[in-house]
């Protein structure tokens, strides 16, 4: 069964998938094949683990559907693990260090590595969907610890990306050295593209929020759609052309930043 699309039982058509898994290189994970993973601490949540060290990532990404009474009261992250939550739809109340944060669609919260995140659904009985992330924080000499960051992408003015007006970028976290990673949203008008095929050491976990694209993942042109997840590993060549008629092709993604490589 595809737990997100609630399809159960035999299908009329032959079984097939658009997912492509190349461990330690790249992966496309489509919604139809996702299964429910039980993770201690998460109650009344359907969740699925997307990018993870088993795929070649140094972080873990999750897609979480939080039910009416659902959430995490036990605490997520802390003890060296930083966390980030983005509300795809719905509403939650998150708590960090005794402080509450109400997050609605487009809202996000970054929790530094010494603190834990708890949250509960706050969507009037309806489900909420979250894109959730954790990564071990990499310290750097003479660099302080990051603070909590709360925001909503609907309040962030997008900027032209690398000189292209049809490609817009939003930076969700400060660009300061305390942060060893950042989250961004890239949005391409149909027909727009990257300016070159990127080849870089940083890894990405990307969740497609809208539209469609043809994505070049290590020289394979692969169609991607809203709801898909893409892992791009270190040095994996990557770029996209947005396709479709009028909806922008947009995805939220993480990128490690501001650190040397440890030997």
CB nearer to Mn ion: pick between 191 and 195: 195
Please tell me what DSSP assigns to residue 33.
G
Strand partners, 225: 212
Q: Is 143 exposed, middle or buried (0-12, 13-18, 19+ CB in 10 A)?
A: middle
Residues that bind ligand UGY (CB under 6 A): 186, 198, 204, 232, 238, 255
* 171-177 LR contacts (CB < 8 Å, sep 24+): 172/86, 172/108, 172/110, 172/252, 173/110, 173/149, 174/149, 175/257, 176/146, 176/258, 177/140, 177/143, 177/258
Shortest reach from residue 212's CB to ligand UGY, in Å = 15
The 10 Å CB-count burial string (b at 16+, else e) for 187-222 is bbbbebbbeeeeeeebbbbbbbbebbbebbbbeeeb
Q: How far is the CB of 215 from ligand UGY (least distance, A)?
A: 8
The residue (of 35 and 257) whose beta carbon lies closer to ligand UGY is: 257
The residues that touch Mn ion, with contacts defined as CB under 5 A, are 198
Residue with nearest beta carbon to Mn ion:
198
CA 81 – CA 75 distance, rounded (Å):
12
Q: Of the two residues 75 and 237, which places its CB atom closer to Mn ion in the complex? A: 237
Contacts of 236 (CB under 8 A, 6+ apart): 25, 26, 199, 217, 218
Residue nearest to ligand UGY (CB): 238
CB of 238 to ligand UGY, least distance (A): 4
Minimum gap (Å) between residue 230 Cβ and ligand UGY: 8
Q: Which is nearer to ligand UGY, 81 or 186 (CB)?
A: 186
Q: How far is the CB of 240 from Mn ion (least distance, A)?
A: 10
Shortest approach of ligand UGY to residue 182 CB, angstroms? Answer: 9
Q: Give the Cα separation of 19 and 222 in Å (integer).
A: 10
3 state SS of 32 = helix
Residue 123 contacts which entry, Mn ion, ligand UGY, none (Cβ below 5-8 A, type-dependent): none
* Partner touching 186 among ligand UGY, Mn ion, none, CB below 5 to 8 Å by kind: ligand UGY
Residue closer to ligand UGY by CB (options 64, 232) is 232
- Which residue lies nearer to ligand UGY by CB, 90 or 211? 211
């Amino acid at each position: 069964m595809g737990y997100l699309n609630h399809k159960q039982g035999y299908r009329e058509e032959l079984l097939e998938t658009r997912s492509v898994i190349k461990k330690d290189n790249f992966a496309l994970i489509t919604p139809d094949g996702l299964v429910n993973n039980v993770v201690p601490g998460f109650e009344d949540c359907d969740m699925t683990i997307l990018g993870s060290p088993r795929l070649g990532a140094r972080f873990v990404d999750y897609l979480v559907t939080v039910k009416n009474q659902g959430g995490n009261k036990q605490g997520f992250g802390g003890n060296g693990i930083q966390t980030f939550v983005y509300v795809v739809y719905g509403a939650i109340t998150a708590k960090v260090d005794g402080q509450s944060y109400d997050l609605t669609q487009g809202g996000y919260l970054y929790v530094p590595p010494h603190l834990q995140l708890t949250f509960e659904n706050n969507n009037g009985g309806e489900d909420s969907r979250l894109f959730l992330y954790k990564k071990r924080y990499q310290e750097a000499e003479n660099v302080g610890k990051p603070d909590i960051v709360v925001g909503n992408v609907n309040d962030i003015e997008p900027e032209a990306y690398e000189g292209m007006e049809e490609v817009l970028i939003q930076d969700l976290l400060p660009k300061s050295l305390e942060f060893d990673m950042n989250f961004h949203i890239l949005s391409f008008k149909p027909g727009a593209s990257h300016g070159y095929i990127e080849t870089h050491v940083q890894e990405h976990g990307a969740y497609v929020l809208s539209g469609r694209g043809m994505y070049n993942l290590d020289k394979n042109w692969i169609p991607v759609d809203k709801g898909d997840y893409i892992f791009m590993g270190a040095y994996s060549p990557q770029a996209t052309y947005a396709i479709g008629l009028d909806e922008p092709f947009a995805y939220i993604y993480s990128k490690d930043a501001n650190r040397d490589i440890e030997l």
